[in-house]
Amino acid sequence: MEYLLIAINSVFIGNLILAKFLGICPFLGVSKKVSTALGMSMAVMFVMTLAATVTWILFHFLLEPLNLQYLRTIVFILVIASLVQLTEMAIQKISPALYEALGIYLPLITTNCAILGVAINSIEKEYNFLGMLVYAFFGAVGFALALLLFSGIRERLDISSVPKSFRGAASSLIVAGILSLAFMGFAGLVPG
């Protein structure tokens, strides 16, 4: 039950993009087509879970015993960056098909703030290991949901007749705002 709450919380109520405003860059950048949005979401899902796991372990078994909690931001950045590099190399060797599918998105999310945000948040909320895993994975699911919704809307916007001055970025930003408003409606769904 507890984990279900965490999952719902991170997908809907505390949606990374639409409620916490993290990872806006890929949200606007790679949402022109549903297919690219899907690729990005997969890469984020993969990296986010991995990064949160590693940083959680590092925090609880290295930084905490040494009383170095204040170093977590810089350590996390360092670890996430090298971790993504490492997985990129590994995937390229082990599964070229997956590498082609994730393509350029893997290195792109090295510096994605949503990844770092999830890593830090799961420490801040004092989740245990399983809670952190659920939080990170469903955070990425929430990210994917927002990205897919947005890219679907944008694909439709592209073929509908929008007034000339609202075309492109202008209408996209308005849509993003409305989507965010809609997700704000989930606030209060889960007490606490």
Partner 1 sequence: MNEIIIAVVVLAGIGLVAGILLSYFSKVFHVEQDPRIEEINENILPGANCGACGYAGCRDFAKAVIEAAKNGEDLPECPPGGPEVAQELASFLGLEHGGSERKTALVKCAGTSERANERAQIRSVQDCRTAALYGGNKECQYGCMGYGDCVKACPYDAIKIYQGNIAIVDPEKCTGCGICIDICPNNVIELVPSSRQTHVLCNSQAPTKATRSACSVGCIGCKLCQRKDKDFSIENNLAVYNAKKGKEEAAFSCPNNVIVNTWQFSVAAFVESTTAREQFAARKTEYKKLEKEKRKKAAAARKAKKAKAAPKKKEDKSE
Q: Which residues would be at the binding site for partner 1 (CB under 8 A)?
A: 58, 62-63, 66-68, 71, 74-75, 78-79, 82, 85-86, 89-90, 92-94, 96, 104, 164-165
Q: Smallest distance, Å, CB 60 to partner 1?
A: 14
Q: Smallest distance, Å, CB 38 to partner 1?
A: 18
Q: Smallest distance, Å, CB 130 to partner 1?
A: 25
Q: Smallest distance, Å, CB 117 to partner 1?
A: 20
- Contact between 116 and 76 under an 8 Å Cβ cutoff? The reply is yes
Whichever of 61 and 184 has its CB closer to partner 1, that residue is 61
Whichever of 44 and 91 has its CB closer to partner 1, that residue is 91
Whichever of 67 and 161 has its CB closer to partner 1, that residue is 67
Rg (the chain; Cα; Å): 18
Whichever of 1 and 97 has its CB closer to partner 1, that residue is 97
